[in-house]
């Protein structure tokens, strides 16, 4: 956990499971194939008088250069990219396994 002024950030490693293929909102050229991908669950806690109040979790998925190339079939970036896939989790396109 990292601490900022009055804030705590909780990061957990999770497995993100793709049941049927879908395209990422942030990068429609990336088609996620069925399988399991490493991801992170992040929550931000705010210190309150009654204790810590946590935000709804958000989820991140990191794709390596090789994965990006395999999924998009063309241009690749030089680095791994982290995508915010929270909306995909909420829509049920990605399942979270601890």
Tokens 């990068």 map to which residue? Answer: 27
- Indicate yes or no: pTM above 0.85: no
Helix (H/G/I), strand (E/B), else coil: 89: helix
Burial pattern 14-25, b for ≥16 Cβ within 10 A else e, equals bebebeeebebe
Distance CA 13, CA 33 (A): 20
**Region of poorest pLDDT, from 8-12, 25-29, 51-55:** 25-29
Contact 10, 42 (CB under 8 A): yes
**pLDDT at res. 63:** 86
């Amino acid at each position: 956990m990292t601490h900022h002024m009055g804030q705590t950030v909780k990061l957990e490693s999770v497995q993100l499971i793709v049941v049927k293929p879908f395209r990422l909102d942030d990068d429609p050229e990336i088609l996620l194939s069925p399988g399991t991908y490493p991801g992170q669950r992040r929550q931000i806690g705010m210190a309150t008088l009654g204790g810590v109040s946590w935000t709804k979790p958000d989820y991140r998925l990191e794709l390596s250069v090789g994965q990006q190339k395999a999924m998009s079939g063309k241009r690749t970036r030089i680095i791994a990219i982290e995508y915010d896939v929270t909306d995909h989790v909420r829509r049920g396109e990605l399942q979270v396994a601890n």
